Structure 1
Amino acid sequence: MTRATRLCAALAVVGLLGGCVGLHADDRIRPGLAVDAQDGQPVVILPEGPRPGATPEDVIRGFLRAGGVSGDAIAGAKSYLTTGAAARWNPDVGTVVVQEGSAVVIDGLAGRYRLTATPVGTLTADGRYTPAAPGSEPVRMDLMLTEVGGEWRISDVPKTFGRWLSPSAFAGLMRQVTVNYVATGSASLVPDVRWVVSDRMATRMVRQQLGAVPNYLTGAVRTDLGGGVHLLVDSVPVSDGIATVNLAGTGITNDSAARRNIWAQLVSTVTQAPGVVGVDVTVEGTRLALAGIDAPVATLRELGIDSLGPHVGVLPLVRVGQGLYSVDPSQVEQSQAEDFTDRTPVFPAVQPYFDDLAANFTGQEVAAVDQGELARFRADSAETVPNFGTDLTAPAYDRMGALWVGGRLAKKPNDAAVWAVNSLVWPATDPDAAAVRIPADWLTGRLPVALSVSVDGSRIAIVSTDRHHKDARLDVAGIVRSANGLPTALAATPLRLGPQFASLRDVTWIDDTTLSVLGSVTKDVERPFLVTLGQEVTPLPAVKGALALTTLGGERRLVVRTKDRVFVRAGAGWLPAVGSDLIVPGR
């Protein structure tokens, strides 16, 4: 049959799968939506079904294009399949994002067709997006076509195939949301970023919330929605803005703390769905009782839970010469070095060879490093932590009082490590204030370059390279702590972010789901980037000679330090600030 003869066509993705927006970095600097901007009403796209007499190539092209929709509109994609294949195909089983403008090659022989494309990333069924590493092999998929009533239809789709989408189609179909877990040892919530299809979002988010704790947070967080808890019916109805989550299972206890956590996890997650202003939680139709709670619940504050942030009233420090001075964060761009001439420094003099400084959450201690020396400064004295390593990273404090630093082992310079110091103990020479190595097997053979702890204290971001200062990597891992809050280990499997970076120099947490890194994608000039836990990468304007990052609050108050100057983000540019360094407590 002529239609079964070998077919080979190169199809541009722009024609096959649509427009142009990427998850990966783009060198163009463009403003985005305001942080609190809301999406408008979604546009419902009804893809065209197969036309009479369509060739196998037309059917495949139409099927891939039609897969970029959701809800009832997915019937358009199924119309390209035989009845049996349509019943078996699950579009949500996984998504491959393929490169915009690359060629999708379709080879066909005797009803079997192989598709090949350049991958951008993959999305798993649990909403985890993973970018393709540079130089990744092409992705391939085999489809079977047959004639039904004289028309070509796809008769077999691999079980693991859900959708192939361009970045623009992905951006139009998916939404980035957070799934929330309870920090070990506290009632605070720790978010994990997922991507979900933009229809039936309340239902989709609850499905994600009922899953297991992600590997990179194991030991650092817990969920009280495990142990066989599931939706009684696979749907979360929303009426007058109230989403009703009807649970079932044996894992729901009478423990009031666990019930409060269930409410908190579901409220923080489900209220992200458009149109949802409150959540009601029931167990087999009966409200999940919790003393003092008047359901439905709209905010965590109604549950007695407040978000964690920096300590109120603790001011950042500006470094002028060898002195550290408190400064009003709203005045760092207007102040001059002369303004501090007659003021008394709040800490002992910091010698010029200390390049990297950090302040604890309460503002009562500052740490600084120089190669193999970690010094701690308090109001009236300064001491050095007994020697434990070399090539130390900039230090960082967490809200539980641990002082973190990475580097090489003093006695084994080929081995790298991460240490934590109990900064609540003074003097620094006290044995209980010694640097303790924190186990992290995934750092074996690597050298930490920079680290930063999230404000909630549950996660650490680490930039590392191989022993030859190549293969830069950004990892996020949960922090496992003992009952007294001190760290004992890092999660065994980290979350790798931004595999496209060619170099990385520094990292800082911007908020609970976003980091800023200093690096480059194509070995060009290093610049600041924003990187979300959902793998979105956004470039910011470059600062010549940039060495380090911090923030006075969010991405709009990002701070970049060079060798002897400080710059604060101002719109699409940077304004110079006072001093040679700006130290923000808890950053």
Structure 2
Amino acid sequence: MGAEGGGRRRSLRWGVFAGCGAVLMTGCASMPDSGGLSGVESTPRQEAQVRVFAVPPRENAGPAEIVQGFLEALTSDDPQYEMAQKYLTDGARRRWNPNASTTVLSDGPNPVTQRPVGDQETNDAAYVLTGSRLAVVDEQHAYRPDSGGYSGTVHLTLEKSTRQWRIDSLPPGVVMGKSDFQRNYVSVNKYYFASNVPAGPGGQLSTVADPVYVRSKVDPVTSMVSSLLRGPTRWLDPVATSSFPSGTALMKGVTSLSPDDQNKLTVPLNGKADRVGQTQCSRMAAQLLFTLQDLTPTGVSEVELQRSNGRRLCALNEDRAETIASHGTARRPQYEYFLDGKQRLVRLPSGSTSTEPDPVPGALGEETKKLGAAAVSRDEESAAAVSADGRYLYVGSLVAGASTGDAVLSSEGLSPQDRLITPSWDGGGDLWVEDRDPKHPRLVMLQKGAGQPVEVHTPELDGRVDAVRVAADGVRIALIVEKEHKTSLQIGRIDRERGTDGRLDVSILGLHSVTPQLEEVTAMSWAGDSRLVLVGRESGGVQQLRYVQVDGSTPAGNAPASLTGVKQIAASEDDRLPLVAYSEDGIVRLSAGAQWQKVLKDGTAPIYPG
């Protein structure tokens, strides 16, 4: 909870676990019995094995000490906040729901005396918690960026029966500072199936990631299983579906789950799932496997689901899960692509150190048309390219001798900046492109890259689109939107419906910015199932590269190494592959653990399939 800076040392107990042994370091700093309170000092980011335990209220502690101890107890690893509840009256304990929300502040809550500190005569006291909001995690564990001031009142009373100060009124949920939140919580993708995207080859379903935050050291496996069973978060729910029957939950009495020494997880379910067939059960197990794959140190390699009577319902391992559903990060592109100095589409084997690209097979790799931007389908069998002047969109096969034919779309914009921009392919093979013609701006989708263009409805769009990237799942879209000389990265849901006349109606809904702290975003690319990489800057700041989650949070790990003059950037959903960028040095590449390396001086528009 607290301020990044001055203030007392915290009185929490620190438990450090290594291997089979444990060393417990305890200390309880003295707290004032009266007077003002300082902000609760944020705990520096700790390694995963560090556990933090709270202490109960001291006998005859004053109001200030009670408030301070309660705030610190909220940042501990106490599973049910039992120690924090010891600072509350019986009535407040019954009313308080710590799981209702978690408010994240930039520097933690600063308690300010609202009225003279209580004593034995007044029998009550009050403090106002203040701070700057960064985000809120709701009861579904969904993260949402927030801003503005925070204010919440904590009221205390001197209990008649015990003559001890206790909190009898407090803000809802939990509140803590940014660094405590980063230490206590971890972002995990739970997986559902895209509800309005056709099945792929062999009947494979398309998975869609739904990131949530759970407490990292408080049984995260059980928390994630329970969260998955409850269904998608509200934002994703309209375009995602779960194979678990409505009402499915863990069997009564099951409070903790953990994989065995063979990395197999057994999940006992209630009666709602007793009658599902093997196909549906396998899909349920696949959702669990995808969700839990990175949550434990060794991962979960097999899931067994059990009926309410304890008998086996089905079991599924990782290999079989991949046949049930396509997984964005499981697709490893064969090549990375860009335009060379002759304005033709060229490619390099993905992950290679080669710096000598080859033209792609087909007309787009020839010099017959000067290109300004391109996109390659995720199966790498087709490509779309925008002419150098931005007026025409061509689609061609990536096979020797293939031609592009006539343009599939054209723009009437008067200048290249007011015409077509870089297109994007979704996982179902549909092609998306924005026409920036001021007289008729439109986002267009071409089914399978051909046919009559479908104009996409964007009722919530407020600004001009500078870039479009569709996620592999086909149900989420990222846009760079410009308004009043500022640009933001926004995420929306793709809603597809068939009218009574059979015509496809497509809309982008639920648009929201995931970069409220940035004044400018100039380039972006999907870099995982729920992560993007972007180029941007804060107000008054310098250009920077950073990762951002689709919910607006900052993922764990380091940001990409800095690079000056970045104009375009490309990443693969497979994070084993390098970042590729177009900068003042031409095409450059960044592999894990390395520095940026030059690939080609005369090159632009780097892309991976998608």
Q: Sort the TM-score into its range (normalised by shorter chain).
A: 0.7 to 0.9
* 1:151 and 2:164 matched: yes
1:380 match: 403
Higher relative contact order (CA 8 A, sep 6+): 1
* 1:573 and 2:586 matched: no
Aligned positions of 1:267-306 closer than 5 A? 267-274=289-296, 277=300, 278-287=302-311, 289-290=313-314, 295=315, 297-299=316-318, 301=320, 304-305=323-324
* 1:480 and 2:496 matched: yes
Q: Secondary structure at the match of 1:442?
A: coil
Q: Which amino acid aligns with 1:137?
A: G
* 1:180 and 2:196 matched: no
* 1:335 and 2:355 matched: yes
Q: Within 2, Cα distance between the matches of 1:540 and 1:265?
A: 30
Please say if residues 98 and 119 of structure 1, whose CA atoms lie closer than 8 Å, have aligned partners that are also in contact: yes
**Could you report, residue by residue, the CA deviation over 1:9-68 in whole angstroms, capped at 9, with x for unpaired residues?**
352342xx43369xxxxxxxxxxxxxxxxx85x433222222233221111011000111
- Following superposition, the deviation at residue 93 of structure 1 comes to 2.0
* 1:422 and 2:450 matched: no
1:26 match: none
Please say if residues 393 and 410 of structure 2, whose CA atoms lie closer than 8 Å, have aligned partners that are also in contact: no
- Following superposition, the deviation at residue 580 of structure 1 comes to 0.8
> Which of residues 54, 65, 75 in structure 2 aligns to 1:47?
54
Q: Which amino acid aligns with 1:462?
A: L
1:29 match: none
1:429 match: none
Aligned positions of 1:399-438 closer than 5 A? 399-408=427-436, 411-412=439-440, 416-425=441-450, 432=451, 434-438=452-456
Indicate the percent of aligned positions where both proteins have the same amino acid: 21
**Could you report, residue by residue, the CA deviation over 1:55-101 in whole angstroms, capped at 9, with x for unpaired residues?**
21111011000111234583322221223333443322211122227
Please say if residues 219 and 478 of structure 1, whose CA atoms lie closer than 8 Å, have aligned partners that are also in contact: no
**Could you report, residue by residue, the CA deviation over 1:309-361 in whole angstroms, capped at 9, with x for unpaired residues?**
54764563552323333323345x5425xx869x9986232755x43222223
2:516 match: 499
Q: Within 2, Cα distance between the matches of 1:9 and 1:117?
A: 16
**Could you report, residue by residue, the CA deviation over 1:445-493 in whole angstroms, capped at 9, with x for unpaired residues?**
3211111122333322112122x3425242242453769x997424522
Q: Within 2, Cα distance between the matches of 1:486 and 1:356?
A: 30
Please say if residues 98 and 173 of structure 2, whose CA atoms lie closer than 8 Å, have aligned partners that are also in contact: yes
With over 3 angstroms needed to count, the CA separation of the structure-2 counterparts of 1:487 and 1:260, relative to structure 1, is farther
1:113 match: 127
The alignment of Structure 1 onto Structure 2 pairs a total of residues equal to: 535
Q: Within 2, Cα distance between the matches of 1:263 and 1:562?
A: 44
> Tell me, which stretches of 5 or more residues in structure 1 are unaligned?
1-6, 22-38, 426-431
2:28 match: none
1:398 match: 426
Please say if residues 546 and 561 of structure 1, whose CA atoms lie closer than 8 Å, have aligned partners that are also in contact: yes
Q: Within 1, Cα distance between the matches of 2:529 and 2:91?
A: 45
Q: Within 1, Cα distance between the matches of 2:597 and 2:293?
A: 37
2:569 match: 549
Q: Which amino acid aligns with 2:541?
A: D
Q: Secondary structure at the match of 1:531?
A: strand
Q: Which amino acid aligns with 2:258?
A: V
> Which of residues 242, 255, 277 in structure 2 aligns to 1:235?
255
> Which of residues 99, 105, 110 in structure 2 aligns to 1:92?
99
Q: Within 1, Cα distance between the matches of 2:303 and 2:280?
A: 17
Q: Which amino acid aligns with 2:303?
A: V
Q: Secondary structure at the match of 2:66?
A: helix
With over 3 angstroms needed to count, the CA separation of the structure-2 counterparts of 1:141 and 1:405, relative to structure 1, is farther
Q: Within 1, Cα distance between the matches of 2:408 and 2:449?
A: 13
Q: Which amino acid aligns with 2:545?
A: P
Q: Secondary structure at the match of 1:108?
A: coil
With over 3 angstroms needed to count, the CA separation of the structure-2 counterparts of 1:327 and 1:481, relative to structure 1, is farther
Q: Secondary structure at the match of 2:565?
A: coil
2:175 match: 164
With over 3 angstroms needed to count, the CA separation of the structure-2 counterparts of 1:399 and 1:350, relative to structure 1, is farther
Q: Within 1, Cα distance between the matches of 2:344 and 2:265?
A: 55
Q: Secondary structure at the match of 1:441?
A: coil
1:25 match: none
Please say if residues 98 and 118 of structure 1, whose CA atoms lie closer than 8 Å, have aligned partners that are also in contact: yes
Please say if residues 236 and 244 of structure 1, whose CA atoms lie closer than 8 Å, have aligned partners that are also in contact: no
With over 3 angstroms needed to count, the CA separation of the structure-2 counterparts of 1:67 and 1:313, relative to structure 1, is closer
Please say if residues 193 and 207 of structure 2, whose CA atoms lie closer than 8 Å, have aligned partners that are also in contact: yes
2:23 match: none
Q: Which amino acid aligns with 1:522?
A: S
With over 3 angstroms needed to count, the CA separation of the structure-2 counterparts of 1:101 and 1:252, relative to structure 1, is closer
Q: Within 1, Cα distance between the matches of 2:114 and 2:319?
A: 54
> Which of residues 439, 447, 463 in structure 2 aligns to 1:446?
463
- Following superposition, the deviation at residue 300 of structure 1 comes to 5.4
2:15 match: none
* 1:122 and 2:153 matched: no
With over 3 angstroms needed to count, the CA separation of the structure-2 counterparts of 1:73 and 1:287, relative to structure 1, is closer
In terms of mean alpha carbon deviation, does 146-155 or 510-519 score higher? 146-155
- Following superposition, the deviation at residue 286 of structure 1 comes to 4.3
**Could you report, residue by residue, the CA deviation over 1:558-585 in whole angstroms, capped at 9, with x for unpaired residues?**
1111367111114463111124126445
With over 3 angstroms needed to count, the CA separation of the structure-2 counterparts of 1:175 and 1:272, relative to structure 1, is same
TM-score by length of structure 1 reads 0.80
With over 3 angstroms needed to count, the CA separation of the structure-2 counterparts of 1:165 and 1:456, relative to structure 1, is same
> Tell me, which stretches of 5 or more residues in structure 2 are unaligned?
1-33, 117-123, 200-204, 397-401
Q: Secondary structure at the match of 2:588?
A: strand
* 1:525 and 2:542 matched: yes
1:211 match: 230
